[in-house]
Copies of this chain bind each other. A is one copy, B any other.
Amino acid sequence: MASEKITPRSENFSDWYNQLVIAAELADYAPVRGCMVVRPYGWALWENLQAALDQRFKATGHVNAAFPLFIPMSFLEKEKEHIEGFSPELAVVTIGGGQVLEEPWVVRPTSETIIGYMYAKWIESYRDLPVLINQWGNVVRWEMRTKLFLRTLEFYWQEGHTAHATQEEAEEETLRMLDVYTDFAINEAAVPVIPGRKSESEKFSGAVDSYTIEAMMGDTRALQAGTSHFLGQNFAKAFEIQYLDQHNQLQHVWTTSWGLSTRFIGAIIMTHGDDQGLILPPRVAPIQIVIVPIYRNDDEKSSVLPVVEKIQAELGDFRSKVDDRQGITPGFKFNDWELRGVPLRIEIGPKDVAKGTVALARRDFPGKEGRSFVSQQNLYSRVSDLLTTIQSSLYDKAISFRENHTHEPGTYAELKEIVSHGWAYTWWCGNPECEQKIKEETKATIRCIPMKQSDGEGSCIYCLEAAAEKVYFARAY
């Protein structure tokens, strides 16, 4: 139960976030360094995100499977860049059943290698392609500085791994899944994202090209919210994933991988939350509507409760909850559900019963602005419309925020100023040295090279050489 006030966002955004995650009972710190416990309210949110994604994966022809948690150390070493990128982050099992293992086992940080091994076993001919498999599971990366949901040693995610006959098909798949993530972020979570390509320095270890969806958080920092990688034939060659083509020639496959994790919960919190707490988008909120009965004595109680029950029954399709806790004031309950971000509150008191009305209170507009009194008649369609309005209103608000905090610098000095409180959208020549200098001097990195590029050329914001592409620079989580 929420009893203490949380730090306002403007005072300390990081404290606000940490306190809110705990107070809203989304997650808790585990007694194992850097690990989290996802509490029931947080897990219910994740289940809704999973369902929305899983449906999209299946609609694009993918199936789920489960690969082992453990990977022999030698597997990771087969792809040079992969092991270089992941070796500092590994948790290693060295003892099993009381015996020291001959070869240590890595707890998977990602599964390209062990899945590559299995694909080499399963794929024989072009008839076996494409292979379109996704896995929901847990992975472990030994992080030094952790933060609930955003960066934890163990986290939950899905990782898609596909194998294709041609480069073109694999590239199409990579971008198809980037589109799926974009659509999911915007239409389910009301989180505006910019899909784009990663620069060389920000690529996944082992990828030819990495793509990302980038979102702006409430403190204007960027969050990488999902990634899709074109792996070329790097893993196909490391694991000899080959097929016989129509001319009976042995060919290496082309692979992709793509993932989205519980980190996305952090994106939702930091995109929509306010000083009162969470604001959850109706489409993914574990509780969409909370109904609070209001009464001062048994007489009022016995007239109010039957109406509350009737109304909850009418709203059957929605995820609703009646807060019938005893010994707690309605005001306390209002605050509690505001903290937990329930999009819509229905209040029913004796006067409402007499007049056939209810009060509706929108979470995204706390106070009088978001409160209205409506008839109990046609409540279902009224509530349905209102939830749709809230969903799109959250998105619009987030888009405005991002637009208001994204600027095009005319000079490098302006870029420095912009990235201290927003995103800079500007020309970059493609030289990693310029990127590196900007990072050192401003802490801003290239978040992505957006897919949508306007025509024409410009000059690099750092070196002033000719530049063919515009990019986003920002400080990031």
Contacts and interface: CB of A to CB of B under 8 A. Distances in A.
Interface of A: 28, 30-32, 35-40, 42-44, 46-47, 63-72, 75, 87-98, 104-105, 107, 114, 117-118, 121-122, 133, 137-138, 140, 142, 144, 153-154, 156
B37 A69 contact: no
B88 A66 contact: no
Given A138-B69, A154-B68, A63 B44 contact: yes
Contacts of A71: 32
Contact of A40 (B28, B92, B117, B133): B133
Nearest to A154: B69
Given A69-B69, A91-B95, A107-B107, 16 more contacts: A31-B114, A32-B68, A32-B70, A35-B68, A38-B66, A39-B65, A40-B64, A40-B65, A47-B64, A69-B154, A91-B93, A91-B96, A92-B94, A93-B94, A97-B144, A98-B142
The count of identical subunits is: 2
A428 to B, nearest CB: 33
For A66, A69, A72, A138, the residue with the greatest tally of chain B CB atoms inside 10 Å of its CB is A66
Contacts of A140: 69
Nearest to A327: B127
A72 B31 contact: yes
A72 B32 contact: yes
Contact of A105 (B32, B42, B64, B67): B32
A154 to B, nearest CB: 5
Contact of A70 (B35, B39, B44): B35
A86 to B, nearest CB: 11
A321 to B, nearest CB: 12
A87 B98 CA distance: 8
Contacts of A95: 90-92, 94, 104
Contacts of A118: 28, 30-31, 37
A427 to B, nearest CB: 38
Given A37-B68, A39-B65, A89 B97 contact: yes
Contacts of A67: 30, 37
